[in-house]
Amino acid sequence: MPRTYEEELKYIERINSHCWRIKKGFVPNMNVEGVFYVNNHLEKLMFEELETASKFGGIGGFLPGMKQIANVAALPGIVGKSVGLPDVHSGYGFAIGNMAAFDYNDPKAIVSPGGVGFDINCGVRLLRTNLTEKDVQPMKEQLAQSMFDHIPVGVGSKGVIPMNAKDLEEALEMGMDWSLREGYSWAEDKEHCEEYGRMLQADPTKVSQRAKKRGLPQLGTLGAGNHYAEIQVVDEIYDRFAAGKMGIDFKGQVCVMIHCGSRGLGHQVATDALVAMEKAMKRDQIQTNDRQLACALIQSPEGQDYLKGMCAAANYAWVNRSSMTFLARQAFARCFNSTPDDLDMHLIYDVSHNIAKVEEHIIDGRQKTLLVHRKGATRAFPPHHPLIPVDYQITGQPVLIGGTMGTCSYVLTGTEQGMQETFGSTCHGAGRALSRAKSRRNLNWYEVLDELKEKGIAIRVASPKLVQEEAPDSYKNVTDVVETCHAAGISKLCVKLRPVAVIKG
């Protein structure tokens, strides 16, 4: 049904300066409204996307983010609103930066692997150190090389942590507890991780042999794409009290940020689930507007199998990140001739931004169990929530927003308003503005690298072509995204971090 751009606009209504509503009827069968948070700059990009799609009518083009938010709102069992966070952009099925919550006890409610993403438990973790920028600047190149040598990156890389099939099974079941047992992570790390590094509903038997085979050689590797490990320096502190609770005391303090996911295992689990659910959809007669929105009833065997397999893949990602934390600690210790303990390399927090969780939320005064899908959205629980660690009870859960290569990253904290409006979710990063093919054509990798060198950033990349695609210019401005979150009240700015060394695959 090719509508004109003006007709589409009738369904979009502005609520306030940074929030828009998508009314029912934008796409057929919407059960609830959609809502998305943008500021002036970002809204132009969103509407441009919609305009391009209306012109081409869907042939050779793609569904714009707004349409995808609305398609998600048409899924059965959805509760509240289908929320688009400031970094929302078009993905497959669900938009990336889309949060949707489903009533767990509703027999018609569904679970969708598209709502979690292919990279299950893609997340960010932040380590602090007691080093200052002055300590690190003269050793920057050495440090970057040391980390690049310790952490395998890029296509075809194999993990260095010794593992066999039995270890993998245990790791899938126990998550970070396995890392702790093997000595790769510290006991305090577990405290400062979402779900304490282990999802209890994980069942390794629900992960196929293929997925395990894919995952075994890749444990402890960074991967490619937008994954990275960065050595960052605190640039600004907005909330001194909250930052103090996290161990960030002064400007110029050095931190390490690692962004990666569950590698081939997660991708395989998602692919297998999509195939199984396509069959289930026909059997249970679930209607969706988009073929990529494959889903199954939560209470059906396929739905439950997917949830258990997803939890196992999430555990794998936490083990992956703990292994890389271990390698990063070793790299630093080797460079500074000290121990990770002496360098105070504690974990500040570990968040995941591609996951589905069973959470309790209060809707209309009643407590309900919801299955919250966060695809490209990070959990941001407010102060005094029982699931966040004791250290952060007063300040709220830290939210780690990774910038892109060469741009700033942020640490935010969760707020009560975010809990009410978006079920405790906020943005995850910058979101892309330019397509990868356009970036490859318009940008040169040596120009990008020169620019980064001028900014004083040491960089080690496995693939030059990736440098073009991942150039900061091809992403939205993360500062815009984060400021929108702050203005909308769904999370509060806490710390700004600036990179001094980047390791990418």
Partner 1 sequence: MLARLFRIQNRTAIYDRAHKITASFLIGLTGVAFLAVCHQLYKAKTEYLPEIRRRGKERLEKTLAIRQTEAEIAEQEQNKNTKQHEDVEENGPSASNEDVEFDYPDVKYEYLDNTADIQIHAWGDSLEESFEQAVMGMFAYMTDIDRIENRDMKQIDIRAEGDLQNLLYKFLSEWLEVYGTEDYFVARKVEINLFDRKELRIIARGYGETFDLSRHAQGTEVKAITYSNMQIHEEAPTHDVYVIVDI
Which residues belong to the annotated binding site for Mn(2+)?
119, 122, 227, 259, 353
Least Å distance between CB 106 and partner 1?
A: 26
Rule CB under 8 A: is residue 44 a binding residue for partner 1? no
* Residues 199-228 interacting with partner 1 (rule: CB under 8 A): 210, 213-214, 217, 223-225
Burial of 262 (0-12, 13-18, 19+ CB in 10 A): buried
**Toward partner 1, which CB reaches closer, 99 or 248?**
99
Binding-site entries? 119, 122, 226-230, 259, 353-354, 402-405, 409, 428-431, 504
Rule CB under 8 A: is residue 280 a binding residue for partner 1? no
**Toward partner 1, which CB reaches closer, 33 or 290?**
290
Which candidate in 18, 346, 428, 486 is catalytic? 428
Tokens linked to 107: 């027999």
Cα of 14 vs its chain's centroid, Å: 27
Distances in whole angstroms, Cα of residue 205 to Cα of each of 103, 212, 279: 26, 10, 21
One-character DSSP codes across 434-499 = S-HHHHHHH--HHHHHHHHHHTT-EEEES-HHHHHHT-GGGB--HHHHHHHHHHHTSEEEEEEEEE
CA angle 76, 288, 45 (to 5 degrees): 100
Quick count: other Cβ atoms within 10 Å of Cβ 16? 9
Rule CB under 8 A: is residue 41 a binding residue for partner 1? no
Rule CB under 8 A: is residue 55 a binding residue for partner 1? no
How many chain residues are in contact with partner 1, going by CB under 8 A? 47
Tokens linked to 250: 């002064």
Three-class DSSP category at 110: strand
Could you give the residue ranges of the DSSP H alpha helices within 118-175? 133-136, 140-150, 165-174
Rule CB under 8 A: is residue 435 a binding residue for partner 1? yes
Rule CB under 8 A: is residue 234 a binding residue for partner 1? no
Rule CB under 8 A: is residue 354 a binding residue for partner 1? no
Whether 192 is a known active-site residue: answer no
Least Å distance between CB 31 and partner 1?
A: 23
Three-class DSSP category at 143: helix
Q: Classify residue 85 as left (phi > 0), alpha (psi -120 to 50) or beta.
A: beta
Question: Near partner 1 by CB under 8 A, which window of 182-190, 245-253, 392-400, 460-468?
Answer: 460-468
**Toward partner 1, which CB reaches closer, 98 or 232?**
98
**Toward partner 1, which CB reaches closer, 122 or 493?**
122
**Toward partner 1, which CB reaches closer, 304 or 463?**
463
Rule CB under 8 A: is residue 463 a binding residue for partner 1? yes
Give the separation between CA 404 and CA 299, rounded to whole angstroms. 39
Contact status, residue 404 vs residue 502, Cβ threshold 8 Å? no
Residues that bind partner 1 (CB under 8 A): 59-63, 89-93, 96, 118-119, 154-157, 210, 213-214, 217, 223-225, 264, 267-268, 270-271, 275, 278-279, 291-292, 432-433, 435-438, 440, 462-463, 465-466, 469, 505
What residues act catalytically? Answer: 428
